[in-house]
């Protein structure tokens, strides 16, 4: 809800040159807090971690109208990132706890579909509230939605069986809390595939302008629509046919999406690339999440999911940085940007194919 309006809000404060920090600071805190949220999810429970993420959203919504200068605003964005660092980790672990293993992919698909719907309609609703009423009304409405999620959480039964009391020991992070080796394969694939997401987020607005597409959100609208449509079916298919075969399909579609977008010289081809990208992410997101949970144990599920999210955010961040470095605001470099992102996806495809073949050969020997 807030994202479309925050750049203008910051510019009016005199901080136009800090627009990149709106997402950057938010993502930084989200990434740094993942090891803590994973550890706490496995120790004090799923519901408290989810509640903390929602409470951060609730409080920040009320603080935005009070933080009307640049540096306090940026500090608030840094704090707001704790919401994304905690809420999805606890939620994914909770979902994994309450569904049978043979329907885990389907459940992750439903979870991802709900996130996609929120991401699709949130910006439009936020801008409508801001235009109809005011920016402060938008901030307070965001707090209201966060409050509703807290109210729901109060009626949810904790699923972690062996809970600990909150103590300083729960915050002691070790190397293993930062990365869970059991989920190395899906984490590495997530990392390589989400380079493309970082590039899309960074350069497609300019790409849209070069092609004469006035509404620079159309690429994201098409991407989100196709992603939502595919998520539920992809997860369900992976429950039946396995995570790796469906992951191979998703990566293949991602490569097509990057190549098509790179070659785009018309709005039609550009939006076709968005459709392929939506299908790819709609397949990969729930399947890689389910695969991560498959490889985790009950006592390290939060840490495993946090590892996947750290890999995802690292891929997005590095993809954004690399694409901007290649692009340097020159239209002729856009094709190279997307071809490079296709290269990362090809690396993920080769790795997945190798471990899939190894697993099949091992199964035949056994």
Q: Which helix (H) or strand (E) holds 329?
A: none
Which residue, 129, 48, 116, 43, is CA-closest to 301? 43
Q: Indicate if 178-366 has the same CATH topology as 1-155.
A: yes
Q: What backbone torsions phi and psi does residue 64 show, to the nearest 5 degrees?
A: -55, -45
**Checking phi first, is residue 99 left (phi over 0); if not, alpha (psi -120 to 50) or beta?**
beta
The reported pLDDT for the residue numbered 20 is 61
Q: Token digits for 163? A: 């809970």
- Whether 4 shows a pLDDT value over 70: the answer reads no
Provide the 3-class DSSP secondary structure of residue 100: coil
Provide the 3-class DSSP secondary structure of residue 297: coil
Could you tell me which residue, 236 or 188, shows the higher pLDDT?
188
**pLDDT tens digits for range 191-222:** 999 999 888 877 887 888 889 877 666 787 78
CB 103 within 8 A of CB 239: yes
Q: Class of 1-155 per CATH?
A: mainly alpha
* Separation between Cα atoms, residue 312 and residue 30, nearest integer Å: 11
Mean per-residue pLDDT, 57-78:
93
Could you tell me which residue, 207 or 264, shows the higher pLDDT?
264
Mean per-residue pLDDT, 336-342:
96
Q: Please count the residues of the chain.
A: 366
The reported pLDDT for the residue numbered 25 is 79
CB 345 within 8 A of CB 196: yes
On the 0-12 / 13-18 / 19+ scale of CB atoms within 10 A, 111 is buried
- Model confidence at 11, in pLDDT bands (50, 70, 90)? confident
* Separation between Cα atoms, residue 125 and residue 310, nearest integer Å: 29
Which residue, 350, 303, 24, is CA-closest to 184? 303
The reported pLDDT for the residue numbered 174 is 75
- Indicate the domain borders of the chain: 1-155, 178-366
Which residue, 111, 162, 133, is CA-closest to 300? 162
* Separation between Cα atoms, residue 200 and residue 202, nearest integer Å: 5
> Rounded to an integer, what is the distance from CA 122 to the centroid of its chain?
15
The reported pLDDT for the residue numbered 91 is 92
Q: Where are the beta strands (DSSP E) in the chain?
A: none
**pLDDT tens digits for range 93-149:** 999 899 988 888 888 888 888 887 887 777 778 878 888 899 999 999 999 999 999
* Separation between Cα atoms, residue 103 and residue 200, nearest integer Å: 31
Q: What is the CATH number of domain 178-366?
A: 1.20.1250.20
- Model confidence at 257, in pLDDT bands (50, 70, 90)? very high
User: DSSP state, 103?
Assistant: G
CB 40 within 8 A of CB 115: no
On the 0-12 / 13-18 / 19+ scale of CB atoms within 10 A, 240 is exposed
- Model confidence at 361, in pLDDT bands (50, 70, 90)? confident
The reported pLDDT for the residue numbered 366 is 63
Could you tell me which residue, 52 or 201, shows the higher pLDDT?
52
* Separation between Cα atoms, residue 326 and residue 85, nearest integer Å: 29
Average pLDDT over the chain, rounded to whole? 88
Helix, strand, coil shares, percent, the chain, to 5: 85, 0, 15
Distances (CA, A) of 162 to 35, 100, 237: 19, 20, 33
Which residue, 22, 28, 26, is CA-closest to 7? 22
User: CB neighbours (10 Å) of residue 131?
Assistant: 11
Q: Token digits for 92? A: 């994914």
């Amino acid at each position: 809800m807030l994202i479309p309006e925050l750049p203008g809000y910051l510019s009016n404060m005199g901080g136009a040159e800090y627009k990149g920090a709106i997402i950057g600071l938010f993502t930084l805190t989200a990434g740094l807090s993942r090891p803590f949220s994973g550890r706490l999810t496995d120790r004090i429970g799923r519901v408290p971690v989810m509640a903390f993420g929602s409470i951060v959203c609730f409080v920040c919504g009320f603080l935005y109208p009070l933080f009307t200068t640049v540096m306090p605003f940026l500090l608030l964005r840094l704090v707001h990132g704790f919401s994304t660092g905690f809420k999805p980790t606890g939620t994914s672990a909770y979902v994994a706890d309450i569904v049978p293993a043979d329907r885990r992919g389907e459940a992750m698909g439903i979870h991802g579909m709900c996130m996609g719907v929120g991401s699709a309609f949130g910006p439009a609703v936020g801008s409508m509230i801001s235009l109809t009423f005011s920016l402060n009304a938008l901030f307070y409405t965001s707090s209201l939605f966060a409050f509703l999620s807290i109210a729901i959480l109060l009626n949810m039964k904790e699923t972690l069986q062996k809970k600990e009391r909150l103590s300083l020991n729960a915050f002691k992070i070790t190397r293993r809390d930062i990365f869970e080796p059991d989920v190395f394969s899906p984490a590495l694939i997530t990392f390589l595939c989400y380079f493309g997401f970082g590039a899309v987020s960074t350069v497609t607005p300019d790409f849209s302008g070069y092609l004469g597409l006035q509404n620079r959100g159309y690429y994201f609208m098409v991407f989100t629509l196709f992603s939502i449509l595919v998520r539920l079916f992809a997860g369900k298919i992976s429950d039946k046919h396995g995570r790796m075969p469906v992951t191979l399909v998703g990566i293949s579609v991602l490569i097509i999406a990057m190549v098509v977008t790179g070659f785009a010289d018309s709005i039609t081809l550009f939006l076709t690339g968005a459709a392929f990208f939506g299908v790819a992410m709609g397949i990969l997101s729930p399947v890689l999440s389910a695969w991560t949970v498959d490889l985790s144990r009950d006592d390290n599920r939060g840490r495993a999911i946090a590892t996947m999210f750290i890999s995802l955010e690292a891929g997005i961040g590095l993809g954004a940085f690399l694409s901007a470095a290649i692009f340097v605001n020159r239209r002729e470099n856009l094709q190279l940007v997307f071809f490079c992102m296709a290269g990362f996806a090809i690396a993920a495809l080769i790795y997945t194919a190798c471990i899939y073949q190894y697993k099949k050969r091992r199964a035949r020997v056994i």
